[in-house]
Homo-oligomer: A and B are copies of this chain.
Amino acid sequence: MNDASARYQTGLDYLAMIEGQRPPSLEANLKDIAPDLARLAIEFAYGEVYPRRHLDLRQRQLATAGALAALGHARPQLKFHLGGALNVGCTPEELVELAIHMTVYAGFPAAINTAMVLKELFEERGIALVCDAGMTPRNPDQTRYEQGWEGLKDIDGNAGERVISALQDISPDLGRYIIEFAFGDVYSRSSMDLPSRELVTVAALTALGTAFAQLKVHMHGFLNVGGTKDQLIEIITHTAVYAGFPAAINGALAAKEVMAEREQHHAVP
| Inter-chain contact A33/B170, CB cutoff 8 Å | no
Known contacts A37-B100, A44-B181; is-contact A248 B210 (Cβ 8 Å):
no
The stretch from A55-63, A128-136, A192-200, A220-228 touching chain B is A128-136
Chain B's nearest CB lies how many Å from the CB of A168? Answer: 10
Kindly state the separation between the CA atoms of A106 and B246 in the bound complex, as whole angstroms.
8
Cα A122 to Cα B31 in complex, Å, equals 13
Q: Which of B33, B37, B248 contacts A122 (CB 8 A)?
A: B33
Q: Which of B100, B105, B107, B209 contacts A208 (CB 8 A)?
A: B209
What is the bound-complex CA distance between A180 and B4, given in angstroms?
11
Q: Nearest residue in B to A218 (C-beta to C-beta)?
A: B246
Binds B, one of A16-24, A83-91, A237-245: A237-245
A37 to B103, Cβ gap below 8 A? yes
A2 touches B144 (CB 8 A): yes
A100 partner residues in chain B, CB cutoff 8 A: 34, 36-37, 40
Report whether over half of chain A's contact residues are helix, strand or loop; otherwise say mixed: helix
Docked CA distance A143–B2 (Å): 7
| Residues of A within 8 A of B (CB-CB), count | 97
Contact B96 A34 (CB under 8 A): yes
Q: Does A157 contact B (CB under 8 A)?
A: no
Q: Copies per complex?
A: 3
Chain B CB within 8 A of A265 CB: no
B244 near A34 with CB under 8 A, answer: no
Is A158 interfacial (CB-CB < 8 Å)?
no
Interface residues of A in 114-138 (CB under 8 A from B): 115-116, 118-119, 122, 129, 131, 134-135
Which chain B residue shows the least CB distance to A258?
Answer: B170
Whether A33 and B116, one on each chain, are in contact in the complex, defined by CB atoms closer than 8 angstroms, is: yes
The reply to whether B118 and A244 contact each other, CB–CB distance below 8 Å, is: no
State whether A245 touches B96 (Cβ < 8 A): no
Between-chain CB contacts (< 8 Å), 20 pairs: A2-B143, A30-B115, A33-B119, A34-B115, A36-B100, A41-B108, A41-B112, A73-B73, A104-B245, A105-B245, A107-B207, A107-B241, A107-B243, A107-B247, A110-B244, A166-B253, A170-B255, A171-B255, A178-B249, A214-B250
* Sample of 11 more A-B contacts, CB < 8 Å, known A48-B177, A166-B256: A2-B145, A29-B116, A34-B96, A34-B131, A36-B134, A36-B189, A37-B111, A71-B109, A167-B253, A208-B246, A214-B245
